[in-house]
Amino acid sequence: MTSTLGLAYGYHDSAIALVDENEILYAAHEERFTRIKFDNSFPVSALKDLGKTFDLKKLKNVVYYEKPFKKFERQINSLIQLPLRDLFSFPENVASLRKLFQTSDKYINKQLKNTLEIEKQLPVYYSSHHRSHAAASFYTSEFESSLILVADAVGEFESTSLWIGKGNILTQIYSQNFPNSYGIFYSAITSLLGFKVNTGEFKLMGLAPYGEPTYLETLQNVMTLNDDNSMTLNPKYINPFSSHRLFTKKLETLLGSKMRKDSEALLQKHADIAISSQKILENQIIALVSRALENFKLDKLCVSGGVGLNCVLNTKFSKLVGHKNFYSFSASGDAGTALGGALAFLANDKSNKSSKRWSHKGSILGKCWTNDEIEQVLNKFDLHYKRMSQNEIGFKVAQLINEGAIIGLFHGKEEFGPRALGNRSIIADARTKFGQILINEQIKFRESFRPFAPICLEDRIKDYFVEDISDPFMLRINFVRDFKTLDIHKNNSLTDKNKAILIKQRLEGFDSYIHSITHVDGSSRVQSIKRDDPRMITKILIEFERLTDLPILINTSFNVRGEPIVNSPFDALQCFATTGLSHLVIGDFMVDKMKNADMKNIFKVQLKYD
Ligand SMILES: [Fe+2]
């Protein structure tokens, strides 16, 4: 069977995917190998790993995720629009010209020859950015037909598009172009609040529940919903052409809030701006999607593009069409377009009459290390470890977590997408009252306001959460049953906008049996997992349930702030050694930090925070 290679690189988050007519064989992010967050270089390291794992003699086609010349045209247009004072953006835009040459079929074939020793010239096809996003979601869904929303900052020109997927065919029915962009709006507010664009959007989402939407009306001057349900960004407040400062001074004046510096405290007004921005985004996109569902008489919805990672918005969509009729792929960001480009190409094969769908296999599509490879690394550093059966590991880990241990879990293939879904995860007891502060400060070295998400056995979600939503990708929120706001919180006035948010006080302000995975508004971003899923994480959950009757654990990505998720056994050992984790499951081995006293010195690391 022949295979197709999807490539996404050049802008941010380089990735590759290998697909044949029936199966997604592999998908991985370059950043995991190079350890450079959002690495945008040609994905040499991921390709080398692919070459080690698969016989690529039958590789027939290569698909690049977008149309480089179109994108270049938009970038040149943007350059003309730049105010003279924004000279910082100039070198980046000039660099676009270099990037353009690095997407030619000649360049790609040369790289493939150097990296994989592929001698023959392969045909290179160019998808379009939004088609690649749409395909990643639709062709990995189980829907025969569906509306598909793609919303991101910008592709070539498009920032929002709607598609109808039917059988094998994707037809675009609506598009809105840059500079009007939901993604740009959200990133502009992200940066105003002092978070870094591209990673900080998740922080904005986490901050929002601490606030009240008191800026909702004001923000309607910034992003306006038009009668045809398109939107307009007001250039008085948003500067989409700048890559360094997406908002103007007038926005700071309008909101009464100067751009926050990373070292400055988070104030109540920052949370209020965050929730107001989230709500205006929801209101406007939902108006657009609702009308399209109605006009085209569709009852299913797939979502993709960076905005597809917005869990609260996804939940609104999910309620709109019904939970079983909603789908968002785990790698909704640009990395997923490596896969989407390849799927769009394969589905377009006219000789193929049947509806093509590809199983995403729970997004467990990346690199896998054998026990032999792992043991070699453990021995190289002379570590004390114990090999155990998988059942023994499940039992032991459940016991340790019940006693308070926080454990690194590195087992099986790596996940594709920004979330760790149980194979490169840090797991802990969700019942601990201040687990959020403890793990943020001592393990992840990140801001203490950020909540943690749980992983829960799917058949018991309804016992602990208000709605019976299954989501293997952690892309929707639910509400914790029996969540109670305490008097201390009621008395904690949120009206003083310039008062710092006191995280410990806010966490003391509510009662929840699973406190560490309950956000201050009672919400929780639940990952579901089926009881018969053969992975190690399921064994641990089942054992933990047997021991405590609780089928839930904290599940957060195995990394520290600013670093990509761990990729190699060395990365896992380094993260384990230099953080407050007590035990590490790595392949079929367990490492106890107490028995490896010198680990911290061996694996010293300089951390760079984002
Ligand atoms: Fe995109």
Residues 106 and 230 in one domain: no
Please give the distance, rounded to the nearest whole angstrom, from the Cα atom of residue 178 to the centre of ligand 1.
12
Please give the distance, rounded to the nearest whole angstrom, from the Cα atom of residue 462 to the centre of ligand 1.
34
Please give the distance, rounded to the nearest whole angstrom, from the Cα atom of residue 90 to the centre of ligand 1.
22
Q: In the numeric block, which tokens belong to residue 558?
A: 């195995």
Please give the distance, rounded to the nearest whole angstrom, from the Cα atom of residue 310 to the centre of ligand 1.
14
Average pLDDT over residues 302-324: 96
Q: What is the pLDDT of residue 348?
A: 86
Classify residue 606: in a domain, yes or no.
Answer: no
- Count how many domains the chain has: 3
What CATH number has the domain bearing residue 75?
A: 3.30.420.40
Residues 79 and 34 in one domain: yes
Classify residue 449: in a domain, yes or no.
Answer: yes
Please give the distance, rounded to the nearest whole angstrom, from the Cα atom of residue 185 to the centre of ligand 1.
14
Please give the distance, rounded to the nearest whole angstrom, from the Cα atom of residue 268 to the centre of ligand 1.
32
Please give the distance, rounded to the nearest whole angstrom, from the Cα atom of residue 193 to the centre of ligand 1.
23
Please give the distance, rounded to the nearest whole angstrom, from the Cα atom of residue 103 to the centre of ligand 1.
17
Please give the distance, rounded to the nearest whole angstrom, from the Cα atom of residue 12 to the centre of ligand 1.
10
Which of 63-67, 376-380, 390-394, 560-564 is least confident? 560-564
> Which amino acid appears at position 117 of this protein?
E
Please give the distance, rounded to the nearest whole angstrom, from the Cα atom of residue 129 to the centre of ligand 1.
6
Cis peptide before 179 (omega within 30 of 0): yes
Please give the distance, rounded to the nearest whole angstrom, from the Cα atom of residue 174 to the centre of ligand 1.
16
| pTM, two decimal places | 0.94
Confidence category of residue 395, pLDDT binned at 50, 70, 90: very high
Please give the distance, rounded to the nearest whole angstrom, from the Cα atom of residue 358 to the centre of ligand 1.
21
Confidence category of residue 498, pLDDT binned at 50, 70, 90: confident
Residues 469 and 550 in one domain: yes
Please give the distance, rounded to the nearest whole angstrom, from the Cα atom of residue 318 to the centre of ligand 1.
22
What CATH number has the domain bearing residue 565?
A: 3.90.870.20
Neighbours of 307 (CB within 10 A): 26
Classify residue 214: in a domain, yes or no.
Answer: yes
Please give the distance, rounded to the nearest whole angstrom, from the Cα atom of residue 74 to the centre of ligand 1.
14
Q: How far apart are CA 85 and CA 88, in angstroms?
A: 8
Residues 381 and 509 in one domain: yes
Helix, strand, or coil here: 178? coil
Please give the distance, rounded to the nearest whole angstrom, from the Cα atom of residue 305 to the centre of ligand 1.
5
Please give the distance, rounded to the nearest whole angstrom, from the Cα atom of residue 65 to the centre of ligand 1.
10
Classify residue 167: in a domain, yes or no.
Answer: no
Position 137 pLDDT exceeds 90: yes
Please give the distance, rounded to the nearest whole angstrom, from the Cα atom of residue 7 to the centre of ligand 1.
14
Please give the distance, rounded to the nearest whole angstrom, from the Cα atom of residue 169 to the centre of ligand 1.
20
Confidence category of residue 488, pLDDT binned at 50, 70, 90: low
Q: What is the dihedral of CA 125, 131, 136, 142, to 10 degrees?
A: -120
Q: In the numeric block, which tokens belong to residue 88?
A: 């910082």
Please give the distance, rounded to the nearest whole angstrom, from the Cα atom of residue 316 to the centre of ligand 1.
21
Average pLDDT over residues 300-323: 96
Please give the distance, rounded to the nearest whole angstrom, from the Cα atom of residue 10 to the centre of ligand 1.
12
Classify residue 505: in a domain, yes or no.
Answer: yes
301: left (phi over 0), alpha (psi -120 to 50) or beta: beta
Please give the distance, rounded to the nearest whole angstrom, from the Cα atom of residue 133 to the centre of ligand 1.
7
Q: Which domain holds residue 122?
A: 3-140+333-359
Residues 298 and 352 in one domain: no
Please give the distance, rounded to the nearest whole angstrom, from the Cα atom of residue 155 to the centre of ligand 1.
5
Give the residues across from 149 on adjacent strands. Answer: 162, 303
Q: How far apart are CA 143 and CA 145, in angstroms?
A: 5
**Sheet of 424-428: strands edge to edge?**
386-387, 589-592, 583-586, 407-410, 424-428, 552-557, 454-457, 527-529
Please give the distance, rounded to the nearest whole angstrom, from the Cα atom of residue 152 to the centre of ligand 1.
5
Average model confidence (pLDDT) across the chain = 92
Position 389 pLDDT exceeds 90: yes
Please give the distance, rounded to the nearest whole angstrom, from the Cα atom of residue 108 to the centre of ligand 1.
21
Residues 337 and 322 in one domain: no
Q: Do 470 and 437 touch, CB atoms closer than 8 A?
A: no
Classify residue 174: in a domain, yes or no.
Answer: no
Please give the distance, rounded to the nearest whole angstrom, from the Cα atom of residue 307 to the centre of ligand 1.
9
Secondary structure letter of residue 292 according to DSSP: H
Position 602 pLDDT exceeds 90: no
Q: What is the pLDDT of residue 82?
A: 65
Provide, rounded to the nearest whole percent, the portion of the chain with pLDDT above 70: 94
Please give the distance, rounded to the nearest whole angstrom, from the Cα atom of residue 530 to the centre of ligand 1.
30
Classify residue 364: in a domain, yes or no.
Answer: no
Q: In the numeric block, which tokens belong to residue 434?
A: 């201040």
Q: How far apart are CA 343 and CA 347, in angstroms?
A: 6
Please give the distance, rounded to the nearest whole angstrom, from the Cα atom of residue 403 to the centre of ligand 1.
43
Residues 186 and 308 in one domain: yes
Q: What is the pLDDT of residue 416?
A: 97
Q: How far apart are CA 114 and CA 509, in angstroms?
A: 59
Residues 15 and 128 in one domain: yes
Q: How far is residue 370 CA from its own chain's centroid?
A: 26
Backbone angles phi, psi at 289, to 5 degrees: -70, -40
Average pLDDT over residues 590-602: 92
pLDDT digits (tens, 9 = 90+) for 320-348: 999 999 999 999 999 999 999 999 999 98
First to last CA, the chain: 43
Confidence category of residue 349, pLDDT binned at 50, 70, 90: confident
The residue whose two tokens read 């480009």 is 341
* Domain termination residue (choose one: 327, 351, 381): 327
Residues 129 and 269 in one domain: no
Q: What is the pLDDT of residue 212?
A: 94
Give the residues across from 523 on adjacent strands. Answer: 479
Percent of the chain that is helix, strand, coil (3-state, to 5): 40, 20, 40
Confidence category of residue 494, pLDDT binned at 50, 70, 90: low
Please give the distance, rounded to the nearest whole angstrom, from the Cα atom of residue 130 to the centre of ligand 1.
7
Q: What is the pLDDT of residue 11?
A: 87
Average pLDDT over residues 40-59: 94
pLDDT digits (tens, 9 = 90+) for 420-469: 999 999 999 999 988 889 899 988 888 889 999 999 999 999 999 999 99
Please give the distance, rounded to the nearest whole angstrom, from the Cα atom of residue 66 to the centre of ligand 1.
9
Classify residue 431: in a domain, yes or no.
Answer: yes
Q: What is the pLDDT of residue 607?
A: 58
Q: How far is residue 395 CA from its own chain's centroid?
A: 30
Please give the distance, rounded to the nearest whole angstrom, from the Cα atom of residue 354 to the centre of ligand 1.
28
Please give the distance, rounded to the nearest whole angstrom, from the Cα atom of residue 201 to the centre of ligand 1.
14
Residues 480 and 537 in one domain: yes
Helix, strand, or coil here: 391? helix
Please give the distance, rounded to the nearest whole angstrom, from the Cα atom of residue 334 to the centre of ligand 1.
5
Please give the distance, rounded to the nearest whole angstrom, from the Cα atom of residue 300 to the centre of ligand 1.
22
Residues 495 and 398 in one domain: yes
Q: How far apart are CA 79 and CA 73, in angstroms?
A: 10
Query: Which position has the higher pLDDT, 502 or 146?
Result: 146
- The string of DSSP codes covering 33-101 is HH--TT--S--HHHHHHHHHHS-GGGEEEEEESS-HHHHHHHHHHHHHHS-TT-TTHHHHHHHHHHHHH
Residues 241 and 281 in one domain: yes
pLDDT digits (tens, 9 = 90+) for 170-211: 999 999 999 999 999 999 999 999 999 988 999 999 999 999
Please give the distance, rounded to the nearest whole angstrom, from the Cα atom of residue 149 to the centre of ligand 1.
12
Average pLDDT over residues 387-401: 98
